[in-house]
A and B are shown apart, each in its own frame.
Chain A
Amino acid sequence: DSGVTQTPKHLITATGQRVTLRCSPRSGDLSVYWYQQSLDQGLQFLIQYYNGEERAKGNILERFSAQQFPDLHSELNLSSLELGDSALYFCASSVTGSTNEKLFFGSGTQLSVL
């Protein structure tokens, strides 16, 4: 158990809908990362937050947004869903997000868009 909690574990929805994925980091970790893993793209970095502020951005679509709340949990919002958004979404956390820290990953949310 990494200590990172992601909910829900599975999500099935329809095209055009909006969903919210939730992540609770390990106790004491201030930085949260979001990744998308689809079969043909591998693990893709989406976005990183540190103590409520966006710190780094990857190839995150404009239809996707995220935020980190004062209690340090984070949410990833996916809107106008398309079939291609079906993927595993992982959250990870680290203490400060610096480049010499290890990341701890959650078990992921499996999103299926039908």
Chain B
Amino acid sequence: DAKTTQPPSMDCAEGRAANLPCNHSTISGNEYVYWYRQIHSQGPQYIIHGLKNNETNEMASLIITEDRKSSTLILPHATLRDTAVYYCIVRVTNDYKLSFGAGTTVTVRA
């Protein structure tokens, strides 16, 4: 999968929006940006994905820059249960693997 760069960790205050950045400067035109999270030792959980348009679902919003070289995952009102490792993944077309990097460890504090 195309390389992504995420900060290793970040803190967020409960009730505030959490903005998680991801750089993917080598992304190609037909590659999707995916976000998953893993809450301590549980199976990873799908959050959202997008190609070029901004996306929103019940969990989060995904903002992709016009040049597609970076994106931001927004958790609108972070709760303590959002403490997890968040993975930004660019999925290469016709590459059936889904490869996880190191992700960002997000800690939501009361």
Contacts and interface: CB of A to CB of B under 8 A. Distances in A.
Given A42-B100, A43-B100, A99 B44 contact: no
B80 interface: no
A42 B97 contact: no
B93 A99 contact: yes
B96 A97 contact: yes
Interface residues of A, number: 26
A39 to B, nearest CB: 11
A43 B87 CA distance: 11
Interface of B: 31-32, 34, 36, 38, 41-46, 49, 51, 87, 91-102
Interface of A: 2, 4, 33, 35, 42-43, 45, 48, 50, 55-56, 58, 88, 90, 92, 97-100, 102-108
Nearest to A106: B43
B contacts with A: majority SS: loop
A103 B43 CA distance: 11
A42 to B, nearest CB: 6
Contacts of B102: 42
Contact of A99 (B38, B45, B94): B94
Contacts of A105: 43-45
A100 B45 CA distance: 16
Residue picked from B31, B92, B98, B100, most chain A C-beta under 10 Å? B98
Nearest to A100: B32
A99 B43 contact: no
5 closest A-B pairs (Cβ-Cβ)?
A: A105-B43, A56-B96, A43-B100, A102-B46, A99-B91
